[in-house]
Amino acid sequence: MNKPTGRFLLLEGRDKSGKTTQCELLVDRLVQEGYNQGKVLYIHFPIRTTAIGQMLDQYLKGEIELAPQVSHLLFSANRWEHAKQIQQWLDEGYLLVMDRYCYSGEVFSVAALNLDRHWCHTTDVGLPMPDQVFYLDLTEEELAKRNVYAKHEERYEVQELQERAHQEFLRLAQSDTSSCSQWKLLDASGTPEQVHQLLYQEFKQL
Ligand code: NYM
Ligand code: MG
């Protein structure tokens, strides 16, 4: 059997840390360069287009309420319903640039819903796992300057909760016993272009 040849990069971070912008900048640049014959895909969880994803969208917008365990399981199920496709892309040699995954699942369920860390972790065991995780790290000064959660666009976009999520992410980054993923903290305090250069250099060194 052929070994999977694809690569799986994941960007994690609190809300408004610039993950989506950075994923898009990286993917655009790699595609322009013809990297991997253009076989580069951007994936953003939660994927809100499926039936489960639509429930999560309503939940995040505060339109419906869910028991904490149910919301956790739906986020996890949203990954599981795409697991086969993700594995297939990896088997076909794609580079996947992912915006949130199981770590967001665990971190937010712990930080926002006070669920048991171990229980949260187990629902994602067996999913295809990233080779490399980049954590977009913002300094407190930068966060204060950006005043990013003032608009409170979605559930969870609250300063104190995001701070707890950040601490949970750092804990995972320091002791990710859950997988063989490598974690790297990236200073995300610069302009989008500066952060992009950092991320691009890190990527090139892999
Ligand atoms: N989120 C995301 C979770 O609570 N669990 C998960 O498994 C995932 C993937 O959804 N506040 C939360 C984190 C975010 C929110 O994400 C929406 P985004 O990247 O802003 O669309
Ligand atoms: Mg968000």
The CB of 72 under 6 Å from ligand 1? The reply is no
Range 186-200 average pLDDT: 97
The closest residue, in CA terms, to atom 6 on ligand 1 is 105
Proximal ligand: closest to the CA of 108: 1
pLDDT at 91: 97
In short, whether 105's Cβ falls inside 6 Å of ligand 1 is yes
Using CA positions, which residue lies closest to atom 3 of ligand 1?
105
The runs of H, that is alpha helices, within the chain are 19-32, 51-60, 68-91, 102-113, 117-122, 140-146, 159-174, 192-205
Residue bearing the bigger pLDDT, 28 or 179: 28
CA-closest residue to ligand 1 atom 16: 46
pLDDT confidence of residue 203:
97
**What is the Å distance from ligand 2's center to 20 Cα?**
9
Distances 92 to 6, 37, 39, 97, 170 between C-alpha atoms, Å: 7, 12, 9, 15, 33
How far is 94 from 72, CA to CA, in rounded Å? Answer: 28
100 Cα nearest atom in ligand 1: 9
The residue type at 70 = V
User: CB of 96 within 8 A of CB of 90?
Assistant: yes
pLDDT at position 202 is 97
pTM, rounded to two decimals: 0.95
pLDDT-wise least confident of 55-69, 138-152, 187-201: 138-152
Q: How does pLDDT run across 4-42, given as a tens digit for each residue?
A: 579 999 999 999 999 999 999 999 999 999 999 999 999
With 60 as the cut, is the pLDDT of residue 201 above it? Answer: yes
Ligand 1: nearest atom to the Cα of 56 = 10
Ligand nearest to the CA of 155: 1
Contact in structure between 109 and 160 (CB atoms under 8 Å): no
CA neighbor of 23 nearest in space, from 186, 205, 142, 165? 186
pLDDT in tens, 68-125: 999 999 999 999 999 999 999 999 999 999 999 999 999 999 999 999 999 999 999 9
Instruction: Indicate whether residue 59 lines ligand 1 (CB < 6 A).
Output: no
The C-alpha atoms of residue 107 and residue 204 are separated, in whole angstroms, by 28
Residue of higher predicted confidence among 196 and 179: 196
Which ligand 1 atom sits nearest the alpha carbon of residue 108?
A: 4
Tell me: pLDDT of 180 over 60: no
**Confidence band (pLDDT; 50, 70, 90) for 179?**
low
Quick: pLDDT tens for 142-156.
887 887 888 889 999
- The whole-number pLDDT of residue 176 equals 61
Residue 1 has pLDDT above 70, yes or no: no
pLDDT confidence of residue 2? 57
72: helix, coil or strand?
helix
The response to whether residue 168 sits with its C-beta less than 6 Å from ligand 1 reads no
Centre of ligand 2 from the C-alpha of residue 105, in Å: 13
- Choose which residue among 20, 24, 60, 70 to substitute to test ligand 1 binding: the one with the highest number of ligand atoms within 8 A of its C-beta: 60
**Which pLDDT value is given to residue 175?**
78
pLDDT for position 178: 54
